[in-house]
């Protein structure tokens, strides 16, 4: 693949990882890209690198445009290794380059990973460097989603290099949002927000506030397509998601040993549907938790069910609840349910875990002794139908 021009003198020089299917546990069913950008001016700047195995691809694309020895700045918007992994190879081949970091945290992280021997040039909020005709201005976005994150803005080109923010794990031939099906791109943007950004709504809002006054022709994230035709859509989506006021909708999640908890999940789903509420039903044996969390991004209610196994939860449910607690969704209500033969500890454990994850209880945990009969299931459906959501 060639270096792709964004505007005259500005190029995408990243890499497409078509076959990636997991990103530290989050399923990337449509692959990923690691976007890096090259700006040609009196000084030449490379913004971010790529994951280490793609270093040669990155350098080959840069070399299509300019000899590597001519690169003056390497801007590192984020320490995470999908963007910094190729720094050692890049710095070895770009002897003039100064490595720019956003903050002590960025420099600390890069030093920890790659050593102190590089010519670091820390920058802070409001700092800028002149490339000649163009300027790079730095906007720290700490905890979006690591302490070191920043964005880089080029006012002359009206391009915001937003790093992880507004990204999507989406491998594609098209580099721009209007070259790919918008619904696919937005689903992957939602999945990215739900699984990466969701714990940090205040930081997402702060970033939106910092971006709001900027004149922007392009948002060039470090993953997925570059936004040019649908910038208002992705900004509005981030506003909506970070507001944590999801629409009235339900996600029902369960695992089951002999189908009793499954029957309860179906009855609960019927109850939500009887309220006219959209519902997504997930069996943890077949749905991945990163997809379930993506559905929860657009849902106000969460019901989680587990039977009791050895006085405890099923491990799949336990893993989901651990993941949920880490992402700490705000503004959701929910309840626990499950069947049991004896003991029945799991149902209360699910309820406690939901509360600990910040899910406001809608009702007491629903316990079913042994197999639910038709009357039990009808009563459960009616109970959910009558809940004030």
Residues forming the active site:
24, 78, 80, 82, 145, 164, 192, 223
- Give the nearest residue (CB) to ligand FEO: 80
- 154-183 positions binding ligand FEO, by CB under 6 A: 164
Residue in 43, 51, 61, 78 binding ligand FEO, rule: CB under 6 A: 78
d(CA 218, CA 152): 12
Spell out the residues 6+ positions from residue 181 whose beta carbon is closer than 8 angstroms to its own. none
Does the footprint of ligand FEO cover residue 228 (CB under 6 A)? Answer: no
Please confirm whether the linkage preceding 150 is cis (ω < 30° from 0).
no
Does the footprint of ligand FEO cover residue 148 (CB under 6 A)? Answer: no
Does the footprint of ligand FEO cover residue 83 (CB under 6 A)? Answer: yes
Helix (H) or strand (E) holding 111: helix 104-114
d(CA 375, CA 370): 14
Spell out the residues 6+ positions from residue 374 whose beta carbon is closer than 8 angstroms to its own. none
d(CA 189, CA 233): 11
Residue in 188, 222, 290, 381 binding ligand FEO, rule: CB under 6 A: 222
Q: In this complex, which beta carbon is closest to ligand FEO, that of residue 220 or of residue 251?
A: 220
Q: In this complex, which beta carbon is closest to ligand FEO, that of residue 102 or of residue 354?
A: 102
Helices marked H in 71-200: 81-84, 87-93, 104-114, 182-192
Least separation, in Å, of the C-beta of 158 and ligand FEO? 23
Residue in 80, 177, 255, 291 binding ligand FEO, rule: CB under 6 A: 80
Strands 26-27 and 44-47 come out as unpaired
Q: In this complex, which beta carbon is closest to ligand FEO, that of residue 189 or of residue 314?
A: 189
The answer to whether 40 and 62 have CB atoms below 8 angstroms apart is no
Please name which of 154, 126, 155 lies closest in space to residue 138, comparing C-alpha atoms: 126
Least separation, in Å, of the C-beta of 14 and ligand FEO? 11
Q: In this complex, which beta carbon is closest to ligand FEO, that of residue 165 or of residue 336?
A: 165
Spell out the residues 6+ positions from residue 345 whose beta carbon is closer than 8 angstroms to its own. 308, 311, 312
Q: Specify the 3-state DSSP secondary structure of 325.
A: helix
Q: Which of the stretches 43-51, 62-70, 80-88, 200-208 binds ligand FEO when contact is defined by CB under 6 A?
A: 80-88
C-alpha pair distances (Å), 36 with each of 15, 88, 163, 324, 344: 8, 15, 9, 31, 53
Q: Which of the stretches 79-87, 267-275, 305-313, 314-322 binds ligand FEO when contact is defined by CB under 6 A?
A: 79-87
The answer to whether 30 and 225 have CB atoms below 8 angstroms apart is no
| Strand-pair partners of 178 | none
Does the footprint of ligand FEO cover residue 17 (CB under 6 A)? Answer: no
Q: In this complex, which beta carbon is closest to ligand FEO, that of residue 223 or of residue 263?
A: 223
Does the footprint of ligand FEO cover residue 82 (CB under 6 A)? Answer: yes
Enumerate helices (H) and strands (E) in the chain, giving the number of each.
12, 22
Least separation, in Å, of the C-beta of 77 and ligand FEO? 9
Least separation, in Å, of the C-beta of 154 and ligand FEO? 20
Does the footprint of ligand FEO cover residue 223 (CB under 6 A)? Answer: yes
Does the footprint of ligand FEO cover residue 51 (CB under 6 A)? Answer: no
Kindly list the residues in this chain that would bind ligand FEO in the complex (CB under 6 A). Answer: 78, 80, 82-83, 145-146, 164, 222-223
């Amino acid at each position: 693949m060639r270096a792709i021009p964004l505007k005259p003198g500005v190029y995408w020089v990243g890499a497409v990882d078509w076959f990636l299917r997991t990103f530290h546990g989050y399923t990337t069913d449509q692959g990923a890209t690691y976007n890096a950008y090259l700006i040609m001016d009196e000084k030449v700047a490379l913004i971010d690198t790529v994951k280490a195995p793609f270093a040669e691809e990155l350098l080959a694309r840069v070399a299509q445009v300019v000899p590597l020895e001519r690169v003056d700045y390497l801007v590192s918007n984020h320490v995470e290794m999908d963007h910094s992994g190729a720094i050692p190879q890049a710095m070895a081949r770009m002897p003039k380059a100064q490595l720019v970091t956003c903050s002590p945290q960025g420099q600390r992280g890069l030093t920890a990973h790659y050593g102190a021997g590089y010519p670091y040039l820390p920058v802070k909020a409001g700092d800028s460097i002149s490339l000649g005709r163009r300027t790079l201005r730095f906007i720290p976005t700490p905890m979006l989603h690591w302490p070191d994150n920043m964005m880089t803005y080029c006012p002359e080109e009206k391009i915001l290099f937003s790093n992880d923010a507004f990204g999507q794990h989406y491998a594609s031939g098209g580099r721009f949002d209007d070259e790919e099906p918008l619904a696919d791109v937005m689903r992957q943007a939602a999945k990215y927000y739900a699984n990466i950004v969701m714990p940090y709504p205040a930081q997402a809002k702060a970033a939106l506030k910092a971006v709001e006054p900027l004149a922007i022709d392009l948002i060039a994230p470090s993953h997925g397509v570059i936004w040019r035709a649908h910038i208002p859509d992705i900004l509005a989506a981030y506003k909506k998601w970070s507001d944590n006021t999801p629409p009235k909708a339900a996600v029902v999640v369960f695992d089951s040993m002999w189908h009793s908890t499954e029957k309860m999940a179906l009855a609960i789903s019927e109850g939500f549907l009887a309220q006219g509420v959209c519902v997504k039903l997930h069996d943890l044996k077949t749905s991945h938790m990163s997809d379930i969390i993506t559905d929860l991004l657009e849902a106000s209610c969460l019901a989680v069910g587990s039977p009791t196994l050895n006085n405890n939860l099923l491990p799949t449910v336990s893993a989901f609840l651990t993941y949920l607690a880490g992402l700490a969704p705000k503004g959701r209500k929910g309840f626990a349910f499950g069947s049991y033969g004896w003991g029945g500890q799991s149902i209360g454990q699910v309820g406690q875990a939901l509360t600990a994850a910040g899910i406001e209880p809608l009702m007491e945990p629903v316990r079913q002794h042994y197999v639910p009969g038709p009357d039990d299931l009808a009563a459960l459906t009616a109970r959910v139908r009558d809940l004030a959501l």
